[in-house]
Amino acid sequence: MSLITNKTLFYLNLGIAFYFLLLFLNAYFFKIEGEFIGFLQELVTLPLLAIEIFLFVLSFIRFFSLKDKTENTYCVLSCIIISISTFLTIGSFFIK
């Protein structure tokens, strides 16, 4: 049995996407400049970016290993969430 179940993977992906969504909202709308928020943001963002890429690869490996693609909703949703999240976060680095 795998260490990370499809359900766990789904929640991890959701958490990562939620974190980057918060960063986006804070940068463009909330603009909160707390010292602790800045501290966490600076320390956590880069590792989470690396984890996001890892989860993106893992989610698709899971997806393609499924025999019946429609049988596991968690796995499908995982792929959709992490794809959108990875595309937007990594993609934004290339927009000048």
Partner 1 sequence: MITKTIFNFCFAAIFILVAYSCSKDTDISGVNTKSINIVKNDNSELEIIFRKGDFILAFQSSGQNSINSSVKISSLNSALQTNFSINEKSNSYKLIQHKRVLSEANRLLNMVSKEEIIEISLIFEELGKSLINDSRINSSSSLFESFFFHNAIINSIKRSKINGQDCGCTPHPGYFVDKANFWCQEDYLINPKKYLEGIIKSNYKPNSTEIIVVDFLKSVENHEFISIDKLFEVIETKSAFLERIDYVYSSEMKKIARTSDDEDDDILRKPCLKGNQWGCCGNYSGCCWYKSIICLAHDYYCQTCTPRWFCLPGCVPG
Please report, as ranges, the residues that interact with partner 1 according to CB under 8 A.
20, 23-24, 26-28, 31-33, 35-36, 38-39, 41-43, 45-47, 92-93, 95-96
**Which conformational region is residue 64 in: left (phi greater than 0), alpha (psi within -120 to 50 degrees), or beta?**
alpha
Min separation Cβ 48 and partner 1, Å: 11
User: Residue 28 has what DSSP assignment?
Assistant: I
Q: Among residues 14 and 48, whose Cβ is nearest to partner 1?
A: 48
Q: Among residues 79 and 82, whose Cβ is nearest to partner 1?
A: 82
Q: Among residues 47 and 70, whose Cβ is nearest to partner 1?
A: 47
